Chains A and B, each alone.
Chain A
Amino acid sequence: MIWNTERECADRQQMQELQSRELVAMIKRMQENVPFYRDKFREEGIEPGDIKSVEQLKHLPFTTKADLRDNYPFGLFTVPQSDVVRIHASSGTTGKPTVVGYTQRDIALWAEVVARSLTMAGVHSGDTIQIAYGYGPFTGGLGLHYGAEMVSATVIPISTGNTKKQLQFMTDFKATILACTPSYAAHLGESILKEGISPADIRLRTGVFGAEPWTGEMRTEIEKLLNIKAYDIYGLSEVIGPGVSMECACQCGNHVFEDHFIPEIIDPETLEVLPDGALGELVFTTVSKEAMPLLRYRTRDLTRLHRGKCDCGRTLVRMDKCLGRTDDMLIIRGVNVFPSQVESVLMEMAETTPHYQLIIRRENNLDTMEIRVEINEENWSDSIRELEGIRRRIDHNIKSLLGIGAIIKLVEPNSIERSEGKAKRIIDERHC
């Protein structure tokens, strides 16, 4: 089923006309209400009135996370604070949090894109959805919440953590849908096994997972653990939260709700727009948002865009699963390394688990990468020969994929800190 056929199946020309109309209106709001954008347009010699079409988007200036920080907390709002009905903030690991505001209409728009997303994953009235994303300033919990109510599913707003209670609610309330981060889904799946809960007592059918990058191998693992079909939901708080793009049953990339969030792919070095199919940094312009629209916001996520009608019937542009963030990317001895690459190596080996941690150090001016991997609790050998064999195979597979060697350390099961929210995969000691 498709929630909004008119928008999700619009032909290219209709979509571009809509985007152009919204873009012109957004530029006008920015010019009139936000000194930051006014100054920026003047500096770049842009006459806002000259912008008539979405095709001119590529000539407009970018917005970055640093701009959000410089205008902390409300400097980029285009409406008076009396029109803002909600504020979310993402935890700033470095410095100030990133603040986003929503008007009444923004909240309704957000609920709709999440309703579209859930419908895409086959969620409908009669389903019971356990929302194990954090509720609070983080956009995951409340974002999923309003969309789930819009599709008339029964919502369990359990938030994150308290695994015992999660499992109790999941079985007693017969949850059919689970929404959380993929690492927490894996944790819940392992906990079900550990608690010896009968598969018959778990009614889950579908998982809606996002908020951190995950690999196809991790999907397979979670689907097996929980006996569900797992879908990727993508979003970031700056743009709106979850519901920026979503995977359909064809699982050939995430459909971007481009009537609201116009995506572009740029070369992060030259800042030039790249053609469809090319790998680069994802940029969004949130044309219809009222409280805090963003012009060409650089997400730092690396992916590709694809056009062409999908078998599901939607015409929305699709984005690949993110390879990682440009700032997740580690440069080790000059080689680009994404944690997701390490994960894919580990997931291919039955003797290890998806629980790993990368520790980067600089010793004698040389970068070293240590990969700590938990051995599989259910399936480990007490023979040193076999354990060392596993270690050597990880070493070999990492080296052949990344082109650089790593120090592989096997560690005890459950010894790497479990995230109930996002996984702490990387410890980079080079900058400490």
Chain B
Amino acid sequence: MLIKQLSVFLEDRSGRLTELTRILAENDVNITALSVAETADYGIVRMVVGRPELAKEALEKAGFSIGLTDVVCVNMPDKPGSLYRILEILTDVKINIDYMYAFSNNAVALAVIRAADAAQVIEVLQQHRLQLLSQSDIYQL
């Protein structure tokens, strides 16, 4: 249930993000989720994509610096309290979240969660019968 998230270090230069997405488009890689964290000088793009290994190779060839980070993708009902329930579970076992990003559409709400020990997050959330997405689920999204 570990998802390989693509992390990209981008200097603050115009057109860099466009270039990144152009390469993904040319390689027919679909982006399921994306977030950009920015500082004054650089940004970190984090993406969940259909075929992370292929995307990594294509981007590295084009000179991007790519990291693969283990994250957990949890599926929850699109209604008030869903995220709270998950975070409460993690807080109870003292798991710190480094960062997360989430979105909802119709009945589906997904959160991508990054913590130091991704395996522990999976174990705890599965004990509570929460639905986690696998890499192949992402590919089919």
Q: Are A383 and B98 in contact (CB under 8 A)?
A: yes
With A380-B67, A384-B39 in contact, do A415 and B11 touch (Cβ < 8 Å)? yes
A375: chain B residues within 8 A (beta carbon) = 9, 65
A412: chain B residues within 8 A (beta carbon) = 9-11, 63-65
**Cα–Cα, bound, A236→B10 (Å):** 40
Q: Is B69 an interface residue when CB atoms closer than 8 A count as contact?
A: yes
Q: Are A382 and B39 in contact (CB under 8 A)?
A: no
Q: Is A428 an interface residue when CB atoms closer than 8 A count as contact?
A: no
Q: Which of B25-42 contact A (CB under 8 A)?
A: 37, 39, 41-42
B44: chain A residues within 8 A (beta carbon) = 382-384, 387
Least Cβ–Cβ distance between B140 and chain A, in angstroms: 25
Q: Are B65 and A377 in contact (CB under 8 A)?
A: yes
Least Cβ–Cβ distance between B116 and chain A, in angstroms: 10
**Cα–Cα, bound, A382→B9 (Å):** 7
Q: Is B4 an interface residue when CB atoms closer than 8 A count as contact?
A: no
Contact with A along B96-119 (1 / 0, CB 8 A): 001100000000000000000000
Q: Is B51 an interface residue when CB atoms closer than 8 A count as contact?
A: no
Q: Are A380 and B65 in contact (CB under 8 A)?
A: yes
- Select which of A377, A385, A411 is within 8 A of B42 by beta carbon: A411
Q: Is A414 an interface residue when CB atoms closer than 8 A count as contact?
A: yes
A385: chain B residues within 8 A (beta carbon) = 98
Q: How many of chain B's residues touch chain A, expressed as a range?
A: 10 to 19
List the B residue with the shortest CB-CB distance to A376. Answer: B65
B42: chain A residues within 8 A (beta carbon) = 387, 409-411
B9: chain A residues within 8 A (beta carbon) = 375, 380, 382, 410, 412-413
Q: Which of A358-410 contact B (CB under 8 A)?
A: 375, 377, 380-385, 387-388, 409-410
Q: By CB atoms of chain A within 10 A, which of B9, B39, B64, B69 has the most? A: B9
A384: chain B residues within 8 A (beta carbon) = 37, 39, 44
Q: Are A409 and B65 in contact (CB under 8 A)?
A: no
**Cα–Cα, bound, A412→B7 (Å):** 13
**Cα–Cα, bound, A385→B99 (Å):** 10
B10: chain A residues within 8 A (beta carbon) = 412
List the B residue with the shortest CB-CB distance to A415. Answer: B11
Q: Which of B50-65 contact A (CB under 8 A)?
A: 63-65
**Cα–Cα, bound, A318→B42 (Å):** 46
With A409-B41, A415-B11 in contact, do A382 and B65 touch (Cβ < 8 Å)? no
**Cα–Cα, bound, A380→B65 (Å):** 9
- Select which of B39, B64, B98 is within 8 A of A388 by beta carbon: B39
- Select which of B46, B65, B98 is within 8 A of A413 by beta carbon: B65
Q: Are A411 and B11 in contact (CB under 8 A)?
A: yes
List the B residue with the shortest CB-CB distance to A377. Answer: B65
Q: Are B41 and A382 in contact (CB under 8 A)?
A: no
Q: By CB atoms of chain B within 10 A, which of A381, A382, A385, A409 has the most? A: A382
List the B residue with the shortest CB-CB distance to A374. Answer: B65
A377: chain B residues within 8 A (beta carbon) = 65
**Cα–Cα, bound, A412→B111 (Å):** 28
**Cα–Cα, bound, A415→B9 (Å):** 12
Q: Are B37 and A410 in contact (CB under 8 A)?
A: no
**Cα–Cα, bound, A380→B44 (Å):** 11
Least Cβ–Cβ distance between A386 and chain B, in angstroms: 9
Least Cβ–Cβ distance between A174 and chain B, in angstroms: 30
B98: chain A residues within 8 A (beta carbon) = 383, 385
B64: chain A residues within 8 A (beta carbon) = 412
Least Cβ–Cβ distance between A357 and chain B, in angstroms: 13
**Cα–Cα, bound, A383→B39 (Å):** 11
A413: chain B residues within 8 A (beta carbon) = 9, 65
List the A residue with the shortest CB-CB distance to B5. Answer: A382
Q: Are A410 and B41 in contact (CB under 8 A)?
A: yes
**Cα–Cα, bound, A382→B44 (Å):** 7
B7: chain A residues within 8 A (beta carbon) = 382
**Cα–Cα, bound, A387→B10 (Å):** 12
Least Cβ–Cβ distance between A274 and chain B, in angstroms: 43
A414: chain B residues within 8 A (beta carbon) = 63, 65
List A residues at the B interface (Cβ < 8 Å): 375, 377, 380-385, 387-388, 409-415
| 4 residue pairs, one from A and one from B, having the closest CB atoms | A382-B7, A413-B65, A409-B41, A382-B67
27 A-B contacts (beta carbon < 8 Å): A377-B65, A380-B9, A380-B65, A380-B67, A381-B67, A382-B7, A382-B44, A382-B46, A382-B67, A382-B69, A383-B98, A383-B99, A384-B37, A384-B44, A387-B44, A388-B39, A409-B41, A410-B41, A410-B42, A411-B11, A412-B10, A412-B11, A412-B63, A412-B65, A413-B65, A414-B65, A415-B11
List B residues at the A interface (Cβ < 8 Å): 7, 9-11, 37, 39, 41-42, 44, 46, 63-65, 67, 69, 98-99
Inter-chain pairs besides A412-B10, A414-B65, 7 sampled, C-beta below 8 Å: A380-B67, A381-B67, A384-B37, A384-B39, A385-B98, A387-B44, A411-B11
